[in-house]
Amino acid sequence: MERILQLRIVDIIPETEETFSFVLEEMDGNEIHYKAGQFLTLIFTINNREVRRSYSISSTPGVNEKLQISVKRVHNGEISRHLIDHYTIGDIVEALAPSGMFVLNAGSYKDKDVLLLAAGSGITPIISLIKELLYKRNANAVVLMYQNRSNHSTIFRKEIQKIADDFSTKFSWLDFRSSDQGNIFYKRLNNEKLALLIPRYVKHDPAKASFFICGPESFMRMCQYTITLMGFNSGQIKKEHFVIDKPPAPPLIVNPQPAKVSILQQHITFETMYPKTILQSALDQHIALPYSCKGGRCSTCAAKCVSGEVIMSMNDVLTEKDIEAGLILTCVGYAVTDIMLEYNTDAAGKVN
């Protein structure tokens, strides 16, 4: 079921002292298809155990020649340190096909306000979206509010500055740096400042404005709370989570019964039963369904429920429209009845 890519590292670019971008290409020479804002799930075997970590893609298809992920060294972070310290140009990494729903909607963004709110390494998927908006989508009202500690810790500072110079009438960059000297207003973004800035930069129909948020959980909660309080609806806000909590506890299901899960494209059928999730039941039976976080926050495991009933213990990534379309997360999904699932496929018919 899973599509595993073999990717060669063709370049490693230092962005800051702690952040490095890895430029990747598929070993068989095929193009890696992805959307701006998506992520790549790398698969490692460490001490005879499989470990998966997702890293946002900082390149943009049609703008950058090759796919690029950016990795910040995390204190006591097992995989970020392993990747930065031990992998070099020419090495091979395994990965799932790019996935994620932190992406732009179809259609034009001309005369629509897009506000992108990032803190620290949360800029990684955001800069991919910015390049898509300005270089490919003809957007003319793009605003980046970016929080960092200092000038030197600002990831992609030179690239963002070049974008600001190239699109001076279409792109605004609000550079918040908490530890630098300067205008105190731009030291740290908080709900009061955000509430003052949004009306200043939303120049078109507020109902058509879009907000993209990525950073630490406290930063994203602050942004979402402020934006919602100002009257914008949840459908206008997208978030991308970097920190994945432990899998949530299963929901209460009265009188649970064994259920049959059928995967339409693969003609695979297996049994699941509460309190195991659909994904865990598959993995226990050596059926390789796609997944990454197991926490209901990344959407790698998303599938369409064609028939039957599924209850999710958590959902922090699917929108109301996604759920109305039948999408579920198998990592936090429990089959109440027999179900039939369908996965998206790429142009070659491979399951994503």
Which amino acid is residue 34, in one-letter code? Y
**Mean pLDDT computed over 10-16:** 97
The pLDDT confidence band at residue 249, using thresholds 50, 70 and 90, is confident
| Partner residues linked to 12 by β-bridges | 22
CA 20/CA 23 separation, integer angstroms? 10
pTM confidence score? 0.88
Task: For 309-339, write each residue's pLDDT tens digit.
Answer: 999 998 888 888 899 999 999 999 999 999 9
Q: Residue-wise over 52-62: b if at least 16 C-beta within 10 A, else e?
A: bbbbbbbbbbe
CA 206/CA 211 separation, integer angstroms? 11
pLDDT at 349 over 50: no
Dihedral pair phi/psi, residue 236, rounded to 5°: -90, -5
pLDDT at 248 over 80: no
Residue 117, pLDDT score = 98
CATH, domain range 4-96: 2.40.30.10
Residue 345, pLDDT score = 56
Residue 346, pLDDT score = 44
pLDDT at 207 over 70: yes
Q: State percent of the chain over pLDDT 70.
A: 96
Instruction: Identify each DSSP E strand in 225-287 by its residue range.
Output: 237-240, 259-263, 268-272
Give start-end residues of each CATH 3.10.20.30 domain in the chain: 259-342
pLDDT at 36 over 80: yes
CA 128/CA 161 separation, integer angstroms? 14
Q: Which residues lie below 8 Å from residue 205, measured CB to CB, with a gap of 6+?
A: 112
pLDDT at 121 over 60: yes
Does residue 63 or residue 46 have the better pLDDT? 63
Least confident segment among 18-32, 58-72, 73-87, 122-136: 73-87
Task: For 170-199, write each residue's pLDDT tens digit.
Answer: 999 999 999 877 777 889 999 999 999 999
**Mean pLDDT computed over 199-204:** 96
CA 54/CA 34 separation, integer angstroms? 14
pLDDT at 350 over 50: no
Which two structure tokens, joined as six digits, stand for 285? Answer: 């039976």
pLDDT at 284 over 70: yes
**Could you tell me whether strands 142-148 and 114-119 are parallel, antiparallel, or unpaired per DSSP bridges?**
parallel
Residue 1, pLDDT score = 60
CATH, domain range 114-240: 3.40.50.80
Give start-end residues of each CATH 3.40.50.80 domain in the chain: 114-240
Domain 259-342 coded CATH 3.40.640.10: no
Give start-end residues of each CATH 2.40.30.10 domain in the chain: 4-96
CA 189 to chain centre: 22
Residue 39, pLDDT score = 96
**Mean pLDDT computed over 244-259:** 80
pLDDT at 351 over 50: no
**Mean pLDDT computed over 268-295:** 93
Q: Is the dihedral of CA 180, 74, 61, 326 positive or negative?
A: negative
Dihedral pair phi/psi, residue 174, rounded to 5°: -100, 110
